[in-house]
Amino acid sequence: MSAEAEGRSRAAWSVREFTTDEGDSRFYLAKLKPFRLGALQRDPDAFGSTYAREIAFGDEDWLSRLRNPLAKTFVAVRPDHSDPSLPSIVGSVTLLGPVPSTTDDDHFAKQSGMAGEAQLPVYHLSGVYTDPASRGLGIGKALVEAAVASATKAEAAVIRVDVYSSNAAGRALYAACGFAQLSNTAPEARAADKDQEGRHTLSMFRLASGSPVGTGKQE
């Protein structure tokens, strides 16, 4: 997409962060809840959770996510002409952190020259999704960039995202946003990283304030 075309398409949507006020709580239940449930039904391989699990949630379960002090949710919205009071959600991402660092986080930090730092500030991207009808407009990248900017402002060191190996589009998006896999993670070391459906999970990383470690690779 050319810069001019992207600018025209961008005029139809914008990225915003949820707050915990009453208006956003209503917006969360009215728009993000059905958006998330629909996404879980359409593209189960894009999520670690399932539709069967989340359809059983009550409103308080949903609002507890919004009120989580370690979570920030960003959404891409566009006008909803059938309900001018609330825009439609066409994409979302949640930034979690700081979260406890994993062995892979520490490994990435070592590759990035940050070895020896105590209590490495790690943030995690979760629930990255764009509605199929709105793909190809740069929405996913804009959402990830908004989350990365927020993590950087919070003085994160490393940002991690987990993605199923079968999700080629997701892996390509994260690579375009500066994420990379560890350079020397042997396939057999990842054999155990499967969910109950046998889906293989990969972790991708980037520094909050710069480029991914130079020796990283995408597979």
pTM, two decimal places: 0.85
Query: How much is the pLDDT for 191?
Result: 47
3-state secondary structure of 161: strand
Where does the pLDDT of residue 123 fall: very low under 50, low under 70, confident under 90, or very high at 90 and above?
very high
Of 125, 104, 111, the closest CA to residue 174 belongs to: 125
Give me the phi and psi of 63, to 5 degrees please: -70, -25
* pLDDT above 70 coverage of the chain, percent: 81
Mean pLDDT value across residues 166-184: 90
Mean pLDDT value across residues 36-58: 96
Whether residue 132 has a cis bond before it, omega within 30° of 0: no
pLDDT per position as a tens digit, 76-122: 999 988 888 899 999 999 999 999 988 888 888 888 877 555 668 99
Q: What is the CA radius of gyration of the chain?
A: 18
* 136 has pLDDT over 90: yes
11 — alpha (psi -120 to 50), left (phi > 0) or beta? alpha
- DSSP letter assigned to residue 119: S
* 2 has pLDDT over 60: no
User: Which residue has 């130079």 as its token pair?
Assistant: 214
* 37 has pLDDT over 80: yes
Q: Do residues 55 and 113 make contact, with C-beta atoms less than 8 angstroms apart? A: no
Query: How much is the pLDDT for 115?
Result: 59
Cα(100)–Cα(97) distance, integer angstroms: 8
If one compares 217 and 160, the residue with the highest pLDDT of the two is 160
Token couple for 168: 């080629």
β-bridge pairing 88-99 and 14-17 = unpaired
Entry field: residues in the chain: 219
Query: How much is the pLDDT for 102?
Result: 87
Which distant-in-sequence residues (6+ apart) come within 8 Å of 151 by Cβ? 95, 97, 123, 159, 208
3-state secondary structure of 71: strand
Which distant-in-sequence residues (6+ apart) come within 8 Å of 79 by Cβ? 12, 87, 88
| 90, amino acid identity | V
Sorted by where each starts, the structural domains of the chain and their CATH numbers stand as 14-207 (3.40.630.30)
Q: Do residues 126 and 176 make contact, with C-beta atoms less than 8 angstroms apart? A: no
